[in-house]
A and B are shown apart, each in its own frame.
Chain A
Amino acid sequence: MDIKLLHGILNPQMVSSDTATLTRFSVDGVVPEAVVCPANLSQVSEVIKLANREKWAVTPWGSGTKMEIGQVPKRLDLVLCASRLDKIIDIDVANLTVTAQAGVKLGDLQDLLGGAENRCFFPLEGDLKAQADYMCSGRDYKGVFLPLDPPFPDKATLGGIIATNSTGPKRLRYGLPRDLILGVRYVSPTGEIIGMGGKTVKNVSGYDVSKIMIGSLGTLGIIGDITLRLLPLPEQIATILVSFNELTAVTGFAKRVLNSKLLPTSLEVLNRDGYSLSASTDLKAPSGRWCVAVGIEGFSEEVKREITDLKDMAHFEKAIEMAELDSDSTIVFWKNLANCALTLPKDGETVVKFKAGFLISNFPEVLEAWTNILPDNFCALTASAGLGLACAYLVIKTDSDIEKAARLGKAFRETAENYGGSMVVEFAPATLKQKLDQWGSPHADFVLMRRIKDSLDPLNVLNPGRFLGGI
């Protein structure tokens, strides 16, 4: 690779090729030849056009929290990092939208949104004459939020969250990135700057291209900036923890909640190891083998009602223990759970994370099957009852446990597939990836995915080999 070509389009401080940097930006042990951190989309566009001319393979990089997703790269010449694409372009509190660049960290954005002042708007923008013409909300709490709670909320970037379709427990109430995205501007695999969608809540002008950018792992474009829907911060938040010994009681309770009129934001089932990840020091471990955590958000009357009903339901299913978390503890509890993969491993250990989606109706069967094949040592299960999702976190010895983890992964996947679903490996060392397919086998619609990739990225410049089916 001729680094000088990069110097022709970027400032020298945006291009690194020293060994330390290159090692830090290696993907599954594959070391790039250069790392570039462009400052705007035009520069990204120039870099990608150059990569097409030189046939370089390019991997986009946000803050690196999800770089273990995907197969080992087939080729890797250039890492394109988003650290300088970190501007928040527009927070429109009155219209409940935000536009920000891909490198903005979710935590930073949420902090800013949460403190956004009383949501004022202008009655007739052209006619605004005096301060008195502003109309401001009279409510006594303030702020808005982006209803996404993916893993590593403080570190994860918006671009990374979108590119990996990363979600958390609150998805039960608020949906996925695909339900929140209004527009995206990205650099295509051939280097053009493309804008799709905009700031309006409804938009059917042309194809909904932003949808296929979500979860495409940077194989169809480099995300530049994103416009997303916001919501007003809820008046009150709380969490109810309920513990059980028997899995049938757990699923009985979950079913009761889901068939009620209640609207919990999350309904997570945790095994004992799973619970240990989320508990903070002032929360004692529940005595049961299972804990169900129910997140509640809304107006104060709603929250009060939901707590009362949930306690009744738990009582009916003969819960062993119940606890109610106030708003501060609620925040800590869910944040710990979201960050657990970072805090788990010690020296010489690695975290492996499997994530499966399956039919909601088979939630009890999947959980039971997974429990039966769990290893004796540490394994945390966290499962979203109303969504048909389950995650398993294993801590393995990096050098000696690979075979075992691969066997376990295959067994987990078989279960998910038997119940109408699929499983992906979200965290794994490269040695494990050689023994266990990251994505599982593609379905018949893969023929379309292949054609889309070939049509948009004819020279296979973006992230070659890391996505489903070797895309």
Chain B
Amino acid sequence: MKNLVLNSEPDTPYYPEVVFNAETGICEISGESYMEEAYKFYAPLIDWLKEFVANSSHELTINFKLIYFNTSSSRLLVDFLETLRKIKEDGRNVTVNWYYDPEDPDVKDEVEDFEIESGMEINLKEK
């Protein structure tokens, strides 16, 4: 199984950077997310998680370092987190960390809402 790496490009800063490591199970999403048709971006990420679970017994650690996401992206982030919750319910060890600026209460509130909506526990960590 291959790593999933999507680099952030200066001319399209509305796509976040993605580094999903198939060997370690450590995955990171960082930057900003406000692209059009967010599902086209996030669907392959969710598919990668499912493929990882089918092909590896390793635990999963997801590190979010998103500093901004629009409401369209937030809809897909809830889906992504629900997928993680189901993977965890099936017995896999899954840890979700969300790194945030402590002076940015908007992001902290958003993450707390994600936790309520998805049912996936999220560790809020100050950057």
* A joins B in a complex: no
Binding site for B on A (CB under 8 A): none
Binding site for A on B (CB under 8 A): none
